[in-house]
Structure 1
Amino acid sequence: MRNTTLLRTPSVMWFLIALSLFTLGTVVMAEMGLVSTSMVKTLGKTLCLCLVAVAMDVVWGYCGILSLGHMAFFGIGGYAVGMWLMYARTEGIVERSLANGALPPTEGEIRDAIATQIFGVVGSSEFPPIWAFAHSLPLQLLAVVLVPGLLALVFGWLAFRSRVTGVYLSILTQAMTLALSLWLFQNDSGLRGNNGLSGLQNIPGFERVPQSTISIVFFVASAVALAVGYVLFARVVSGKMGSAIRAIRDDEARVRFFGYRVEHYKLFVFTLTAVVAGIAGALYYPQAGIVNPAELAPIASIYLAVWVAIGGRGRLYGAVIGAAFVSLLSSWFTGGGAPPVDLGFYTVQWTDWWLVLLGLSFVAVTLFFPQGIGGLFDRFGRGR
């Protein structure tokens, strides 16, 4: 019988078991009232960040492409599903308000009223062309996959066929992210500029369902997405495909000399990870409630690289550990959970010093634990 991915890599099985127990335990405690709704949302968002971190680990840790633009794909997925959420929710509000009129409203009047409600904040009352399919959930879900995938495909094809590598490729991905972020900040971008899309936690058709139930549904969906993504990428990085992309990471020129189409491998990995990042964003932002251009800023992709480095790049579970560890720690420090430290001459407020602490942690891991937290698990396993 042919070995499966689970049999070839026992770490995948152990990860799925741990994720299943964590998901089940969180749901049971949430139903018992031991875990708050806000905490369930935080954990659900953390699972989405773990998924995009795994994608980043595949493209950087395994294939050697330091992409500083994968959070742009993450944000695009959020915008795609957020457009339908805003449209459908506003449509319900408008229809209820116009139903009290003497005459039933026409479709044109309803659409104009929806446009005024959504874009009045930026001084407009018309739908931009980019919102042509916002009324259709299936089409917007398709956009979650297609838009990041096509953007990554075009960008990767232009970059890889020109054999741009190393720091120059990282700068190009960062420039792409910056250009996209600056465009979204403009009011005439069609996506409400700096205001972004808000109220995404209110799911149309489920207004009477409590947020506690909706948060559990999204939490479970995020866990399932992480499990499927983890198994998918474990399959990609194993076998002949995994050997090829690791060889490209270690010595691209030699792999090309052996006759491999390096550009095809890199383009496949870059596009696939972009699609998964878009799906993670589509699950993240309904739990966050808002998406704006700041989420696509280059600094967000730099944070993503830091998570992977701290967790241990080149290890899928390392990316999960790094993203979960830093994300939850960030929520604790910036959310007021960490008490201030009084030094007598100065009081340390962690909301102001968290980024400094994160930067120092990244430097310390780079200097003393270059294999990250995941490397410590590997060392313990070899010792055992």
Structure 2
Amino acid sequence: MDFVKKHPSLPAFIATLLIFTLAVTFLSEAYGTGTMSTSFVKTLGKTLCLALVAISMDLVWGYTGILSLGHFAFFGLGGYMIGMWLMFARTKLIVVESMAAADIPATAMEIKDAVGTQIFGVVGSSDFPLVWMFAHSFWAQIALVVLVPGLLALVFGWLAFRSRVTGVYLSILTQAMTLALSLYLFQNDSGLRGNNGLSGLQNLPGLDAVSQDAVSIWFFWASAFALLVTYLIANFVVSGKFGSVIRGIRDDEARVRFLGYSVEGFKLFVFVLTAIIAGIGGALYYPQAGIINPAEIAPIASIYLAVWVAIGGRGRIYGAVIGAGVVSLVSTYFTGGQAPNINLGFYTIKWVDWWQVLLGLSFVLVTLFAPKGIGGLFDLISGRLSPSRKGAPLGPDQGSLREQEAEK
């Protein structure tokens, strides 16, 4: 009960997510009235996955003060890990079925060579690279969804934080890491099919008889459950002493270090945890998207992620969810050709071309006039305002800000 009292948004979020999930299920083509199309169910499922990575960004940036411009790389790596199993298992079933009619049964090596040719023929190869070592095992690839983003974040974070790289320099380093990874994956010899990426991920191996209507709602349920668990974990992380320490690191890192806390350890824990959350989000997202390629890991994607969190409300976990949801759905509306063009006579505004300008303008306006983002509006509605201390200090020491100063 104390945990719920400290996080009044928790019951509201759980209730909203439950109602939303039931409503989508009731309207779906698989288990409901069929009012909602399968493609839109997939869009909503992908939006929930984007909310996952937005929460990870809010934890690392909004609460710990680390502006990471590389978290979408972890998101993409999670997608690649599960994508390898999906593509391998699906291709193997097709190859085995096609060879079943042969007079002489195919050997395991012949099947493997045929699968390799099917997967890597597009890049002029038929041999399985080392990174596909565990592609045949579902559970091994599930483990890699967590391990690969987590280990990359652990190594990068340990090197960066122990060197006490902070601020804009750390942001540049994370962006450089993302760019390097993206450029590497674009190469045909990266082992992940270069620019072609991994495709056909929406087809679940062994479930050919199951329609995409049912598969889409299954992934939607999985995404909703993952978002719920992540939201609970995130609220637990930011509460109590640990939450106070990471907020202190965000506000005054030197002072927290002077108090005897291992600043690097706290930052590294949050960085690794959020990378794992992002990887899980990617593993759920790309089977719904059906394809993943290196363009998904480009640095611009991580910049968009920071924009989502800023629009939703940095430092508010529900704000990150709101930001990701609003931007994702509005983006789908404008870029999907649903928004009508505006004819000005001398020029026609086509929203497909102007959507990114609108997004950038929204970010600027929120930064200037509503720094608390959309989540700040919910604070006003719920009455969650700073307590009035009649000008008294905001802290116990003589140097603490007074209420009037804090509002400036």
Q: Shared fold by TM > 0.5?
A: yes
Letter of the structure 2 residue corresponding to residue 323 of structure 1: A
Letter of the structure 2 residue corresponding to residue 219 of structure 1: F
Which residue number corresponds to residue 101 of structure 2? 100
Letter of the structure 1 residue corresponding to residue 21 of structure 2: T
Inter-partner Cα distance in structure 1 for 2:51 and 2:88? 29
Q: Do the aligned partners of residues 201 and 4 (structure 1) sit closer, same or farther apart at CA in structure 2, a change above 3 Å counting?
A: farther
Which residue number corresponds to residue 10 of structure 1? 8
**Residue 345 of structure 1: SS of its match in structure 2?**
coil
Inter-partner Cα distance in structure 2 for 1:346 and 1:279? 44
Partner deviation per Cα, 1:179-204 (whole Å, 9 max, x = no partner):
00000000000000000000000000
**Residue 251 of structure 1: SS of its match in structure 2?**
helix
Matched, 1:333 2:331: no
Which sections of structure 1, spanning at least 5 residues, go unmatched?
Answer: none
Which residue number corresponds to residue 24 of structure 1? 22
Which residue number corresponds to residue 72 of structure 1? 73
The correspondence of residues 27-38 of structure 1 with structure 2, limited to 5 A, is 27-30=25-28, 31-38=32-39
Partner deviation per Cα, 1:268-301 (whole Å, 9 max, x = no partner):
0000000010000000000000000000000000
Partner deviation per Cα, 1:154-177 (whole Å, 9 max, x = no partner):
100000000000000000000000
The correspondence of residues 83-98 of structure 1 with structure 2, limited to 5 A, is 83-98=84-99
Inter-partner Cα distance in structure 2 for 1:67 and 1:235? 22
Matched, 1:207 2:205: no
Aligned length: 382
Inter-partner Cα distance in structure 2 for 1:4 and 1:232? 16
Q: Percent identity of the aligned residues? A: 70
**Residue 383 of structure 2: SS of its match in structure 1?**
helix
Deviation at 1:376, TM superposition (A): 1.5
Inter-partner Cα distance in structure 1 for 2:241 and 2:259? 15
Letter of the structure 1 residue corresponding to residue 215 of structure 2: I
Which sections of structure 2, spanning at least 5 residues, go unmatched?
Answer: 386-408
Inter-partner Cα distance in structure 1 for 2:3 and 2:266? 20
Letter of the structure 1 residue corresponding to residue 27 of structure 2: M
Which residue number corresponds to residue 42 of structure 1? 43
The correspondence of residues 140-289 of structure 1 with structure 2, limited to 5 A, is 140-289=141-290
**Residue 375 of structure 1: SS of its match in structure 2?**
helix
Deviation at 1:383, TM superposition (A): 7.8
Deviation at 1:62, TM superposition (A): 0.2
Deviation at 1:380, TM superposition (A): 2.5
Letter of the structure 2 residue corresponding to residue 263 of structure 1: E
Letter of the structure 2 residue corresponding to residue 277 of structure 1: A
Deviation at 1:379, TM superposition (A): 2.1
Letter of the structure 2 residue corresponding to residue 25 of structure 1: A
Deviation at 1:377, TM superposition (A): 1.3
Length-normalised TM-score, structure 2: 0.93
Larger Rg: 2
Partner deviation per Cα, 1:211-262 (whole Å, 9 max, x = no partner):
0000000001000000000000000001111000000000000000010000
Letter of the structure 1 residue corresponding to residue 253 of structure 2: E
Which residue number corresponds to residue 122 of structure 1? 123
Further displaced range: 342-351 or 372-381: 372-381
Inter-partner Cα distance in structure 2 for 1:70 and 1:304? 8
Deviation at 1:4, TM superposition (A): 4.8
Inter-partner Cα distance in structure 1 for 2:380 and 2:9? 14
Inter-partner Cα distance in structure 1 for 2:359 and 2:7? 32
Which residue number corresponds to residue 376 of structure 2? 375
Inter-partner Cα distance in structure 2 for 1:259 and 1:221? 41
Inter-partner Cα distance in structure 1 for 2:342 and 2:48? 30
Deviation at 1:102, TM superposition (A): 1.1
The correspondence of residues 318-329 of structure 1 with structure 2, limited to 5 A, is 318-329=319-330
Q: Do the aligned partners of residues 175 and 383 (structure 1) sit closer, same or farther apart at CA in structure 2, a change above 3 Å counting?
A: closer
Letter of the structure 1 residue corresponding to residue 235 of structure 2: A
Q: Do the aligned partners of residues 248 and 38 (structure 1) sit closer, same or farther apart at CA in structure 2, a change above 3 Å counting?
A: same
Which residue number corresponds to residue 356 of structure 1? 357
Deviation at 1:382, TM superposition (A): 2.2
Inter-partner Cα distance in structure 1 for 2:43 and 2:355? 18
Inter-partner Cα distance in structure 2 for 1:244 and 1:201? 42
Letter of the structure 2 residue corresponding to residue 162 of structure 1: S
Inter-partner Cα distance in structure 1 for 2:381 and 2:26? 32
Letter of the structure 1 residue corresponding to residue 122 of structure 2: V
Inter-partner Cα distance in structure 1 for 2:372 and 2:79? 32
Letter of the structure 2 residue corresponding to residue 303 of structure 1: Y
Which residue number corresponds to residue 398 of structure 2? none
Which residue number corresponds to residue 397 of structure 2? none
Per chain length, whose mean CA-contact separation is higher, i.e. which structure has more relative contact order (CA < 8 Å, sep 6+)?
1
Inter-partner Cα distance in structure 2 for 1:13 and 1:377? 14
Q: Do the aligned partners of residues 354 and 68 (structure 1) sit closer, same or farther apart at CA in structure 2, a change above 3 Å counting?
A: same
Inter-partner Cα distance in structure 2 for 1:7 and 1:186? 51
Length-normalised TM-score, structure 1: 0.98
Letter of the structure 1 residue corresponding to residue 59 of structure 2: V
**Residue 309 of structure 2: SS of its match in structure 1?**
helix
